[in-house]
Structure 1
Amino acid sequence: MVIKPTPSFFKLYLPEHNSNKLLIPPPFIKYFNGCIPKVVKLWNLQGKLWKVKLEVVQDGRVYMTKGWNEYVRNHSLVRGDFLVFKPLNKSDFHVKVFGIDGVIKEEPVNTGVTTEAAASLGKDDVPQTLQFSKIYKPYNKFYVDLPKAVIEACEHGLPQKVTLREEKGCVVESVLRKITARFRLGGQGFNELWKKTKVKIGDKLDFEVILGEGRNIKEIRLKITHKSKKGKLAAEIAGGR
């Protein structure tokens, strides 16, 4: 399976423009592949979500409308707040809100009746895939840390053993361990995978976490892009990704 990571987008909150609706950057629309959902779900770090309607206007622009003002009110957004939207799939976005001081804002605890707690979600509300990328570094020979957003989205669905399936057919059983506040994917099969795929430092690793019922991890899929095949990796390494 070929994984195509979708880029994130950001918005600067300006009340006169964004209090009741939010324009999705037009260049981002192409990543919906012509299938713009009617509703998107905005997830925070605590695993809570807000459902927001999408509306397409005559000139093709797409706005978040009904439900967006509730999101604004629940998060106490003020002028200059900076929001980063990272897609989990075509209809789910993980959202981080940064204040004008550049520090991530404290998330709401009591979110009101328009916000649904993760524990109350039905099966149809669960994001079916989660994606993240890494640049292969020496310590990755032994393990890869799962991002916090993935851990929180999976809730209690974190098995001790996970199937790691590389796109060209290499499949290994990996172990998921908790190290302090982190969850690390590794094990003997991990080292075997790198040998078979001839991974080198600087190669790009695109992971796709496949979720099943109950938000359990079914398996993790992997696409490897070797550094020699993609010159842009140099810039990503320099940026510390």
Structure 2
Amino acid sequence: MVVKPTPSFFKLYLPEHNSNKLLIPPPFIKYFNGDIPKKVKLRNLQGKLWKVKLEVVQDGRVYIAKGWNEYVRNHSLVRGDFLVFKPLNKSDFHVKVFGIDGVIKEEPVDTGLATEAAADLGKDDVSQILQFSKIYKPYNKFYVDFPKAVIKACDQHGLPQEVTLREEKGCVVESVLRKITDRFRLGGQGFNELCKKTEVKIGDKLDFEVILREGRKIKEIRLKITHKSKKAN
């Protein structure tokens, strides 16, 4: 007997309709076979997951509800983003997010520093922590560019500005963040100095934590360096 695979479904992100909860297409509901789970997991391409709750309303429609707005914030969803949901089982979905340019969006990276950052800076000072990674290339001794998803989540006024760049092992410098056309560029003498002191080499992995305070303004940036030689061991 041939087992038919459960189909995927897609949704177009429109803030006025689905920033707080997301309607699951009614034709998809039959694949729950009458057993709609109360909670489901949403996984990104890296395997990181978000736990959300489903809400069934009187007319039988099913929404991804509690926890969805956090997913929206973490992925910096904007109008026109295109989400594809592929079920792994009834309560576990693999989600791909495509931008309005049709290209899959860069995803938040869990570097393991977020909890530490929030604790050190105090919950009252931290409104959001954005995460991304870069592989160190020759030009990165001068600067590093932020992913578009991170840029959209930050306040873009008041640049250029000096920001504190704090490496996890204790190296702290003042670096310059500039806006160049459609990108944020972190660089300057401080950034170059940190790269020298930490002996960053081509191929090393740089995990960044952008700490935002109220108003989506950047409070400081944290950095974790994984040297290529250590990753290979």
**TM-score (norm: length of structure 2):** 0.52
1:202 and 2:203 correspond? yes
The whole-number CA distance in structure 2 between the counterparts of 1:105 and 1:160 is 27
Whether contact under 8 Å (1:128, 1:212) holds in the other structure is yes
SS of aligned partner of 1:70: helix
Whether contact under 8 Å (1:158, 1:217) holds in the other structure is no
Distance 1:172 1:210, change over 3 A: same
SS of aligned partner of 1:124: coil
- How far residue 65 of structure 1 moved from its aligned partner, in angstroms, is 3.5
Deviations 1:173-199 (A, max 9, x none): 001112222121000011110111010
Deviations 1:157-210 (A, max 9, x none): 756111100000000100111222212100001111011101000000000001
Distance 1:92 1:191, change over 3 A: farther
Q: How many residues align?
A: 232
The whole-number CA distance in structure 2 between the counterparts of 1:215 and 1:140 is 26
Q: Structure 2 regions of 5+ residues with no counterpart?
A: none
- How far residue 150 of structure 1 moved from its aligned partner, in angstroms, is 1.4
Distance 1:115 1:139, change over 3 A: closer
- How far residue 128 of structure 1 moved from its aligned partner, in angstroms, is 1.4
Distance 1:102 1:116, change over 3 A: farther
- How far residue 98 of structure 1 moved from its aligned partner, in angstroms, is 3.6
Distance 1:130 1:35, change over 3 A: farther
- How far residue 64 of structure 1 moved from its aligned partner, in angstroms, is 2.7
SS of aligned partner of 1:173: strand
- How far residue 48 of structure 1 moved from its aligned partner, in angstroms, is 22
SS of aligned partner of 1:116: helix
Whether contact under 8 Å (2:106, 2:147) holds in the other structure is no
Q: Structure 1 regions of 5+ residues with no counterpart?
A: 231-239
What does 1:90-129 align with in structure 2 at a 5 Å threshold?
97-98=97-98, 127-129=127-129
SS of aligned partner of 2:50: strand
What does 1:20-39 align with in structure 2 at a 5 Å threshold?
none
- How far residue 66 of structure 1 moved from its aligned partner, in angstroms, is 6.4
Question: Which has the higher mean CA deviation after the structures are superposed, 179-188 or 124-133?
Answer: 124-133
Name the structure 1 match of 2:48.
48
Whether contact under 8 Å (2:75, 2:149) holds in the other structure is no
The whole-number CA distance in structure 2 between the counterparts of 1:218 and 1:111 is 18
1:170 and 2:171 correspond? yes
Whether contact under 8 Å (2:168, 2:224) holds in the other structure is yes
The whole-number CA distance in structure 2 between the counterparts of 1:88 and 1:149 is 26
Distance 1:68 1:214, change over 3 A: closer
Whether contact under 8 Å (1:126, 1:215) holds in the other structure is no
Distance 1:102 1:58, change over 3 A: same
The whole-number CA distance in structure 2 between the counterparts of 1:191 and 1:4 is 55
Whether contact under 8 Å (2:109, 2:133) holds in the other structure is no
Distance 1:188 1:69, change over 3 A: closer
Q: Deviation above 3 Å: which 4+ runs of structure 1?
A: 1-63, 65-82, 84-127, 155-159
